[in-house]
Amino acid sequence: MAKTVKRAFKYRFYPTREQGAELGRTFGCVRLVWNKALDERTRVYATESRKTTYIQLSAALTGWKKTDDLAFLNEVSSVPLQQSLRHQQAAFSNFFAKRARYPRFKSRKKSKASAEYTRSAFTWRGGQLTLAKMKTPLDIRWSRELPDEPSTVTVSKDSAGRWFVSILTEDTIEPAPATDSTVGVDVGLTSLAVLSTGEKVTNPRYERRDRRKLAKAQRSLSRKARVSNNREKARRKVARVHARIIDRRTDFLHKLSTRLIRENQAIAIEDLTVRNMLGNHALARSISDASWRQLRTMLEYKADWYGRDLLLVDRWYPSTRVCSGCGALHEKLPLNVREWECRCGVTHDRDVNAARNILAAGLAER
């Protein structure tokens, strides 16, 4: 049975000079409203031990617009400013539910520049998208067809200077054909994923491949005078290298996760806490480059879309040291031991054995 889901489609676009200036002002105002609202919430809670609601901050925003210092907030669309307050309300809800950290102030240099427009703040006509306060539609590169009319539009600009528009719309997804195949996945650094079938997916290590190019660009940046055009050009060059790494990694993970979902009815993986693992400074860079968390996220939503089962196995389960043949538990297994022989006579590849045990444990809890 087909499933209707909310799905975001991301496209690159090229704004005119006027559109770029308008969006730049909007990004700045969104950031300002977020920071003032966060400062107000923090102050009220510290002095009065009282939580601040979205309605109260929305009324405060109206008051800010009437002051001489912040009258420029009236020059941009009000919708992205209100959406900024809604996002902060959601952030605090997650914080009080202990699902996230305390919200942080946004920095002009480090925070992502973005603005969200709801249906009242853009026009969709004839396959063209025009945002509020703009006279002409955005020059979007339609790399794929949009399945339905947009409900929300998010415009962003990355550190490399590229402009993107993410369009949220409804999409109908057909479930994948049923199959009897199941697979266990053991993630690692040498092999990004080892499957219970014995297949080993090589870790592409995109960050390591471009490490020399990245280091060269960063050295060039460090030599440039601060607050200069040359420094900005060098910064953009560093950002482009990072963007290339991220794009290639994301593309690879999409292809891998899609293949696993299409070929298997159930996929079992370990429930790893990657954030804690990054505390190991010797491996943090390699773990970040592998992006295990991103792979898991892709498997989660694609399994939901296509009617597959994603089985999570407890992170403390000793999948490496259990014999997948007889179930005996091996006492010690140092990391440098890649193959070992069980007393039942079976010789195991360390990672393949772990993947098989992960699959068995996942199916047992299904």
The mean predicted confidence, pLDDT, of the chain is 93
Residues designated as active site: 186, 270, 351
For residues 299 and 257, the answer to whether their CB atoms sit within 8 Å is yes
Confidence of residue 117 (pLDDT cuts 50, 70, 90): very high
**pLDDT single digits (tens) 36-91:** 999 999 999 999 999 999 999 999 999 999 999 999 999 999 999 999 999 999 99
**Mean of pLDDT values over 232-250:** 95
pLDDT at 365: 84
- Lowest mean per-residue pLDDT among 109-113, 216-220, 287-291: 109-113
**pLDDT single digits (tens) 333-362:** 888 888 888 888 888 888 999 999 999 999
**Mean of pLDDT values over 28-35:** 97
pLDDT at 340: 83
pLDDT at 61: 97
pLDDT at 1: 78
Q: pTM of the full predicted structure? A: 0.88
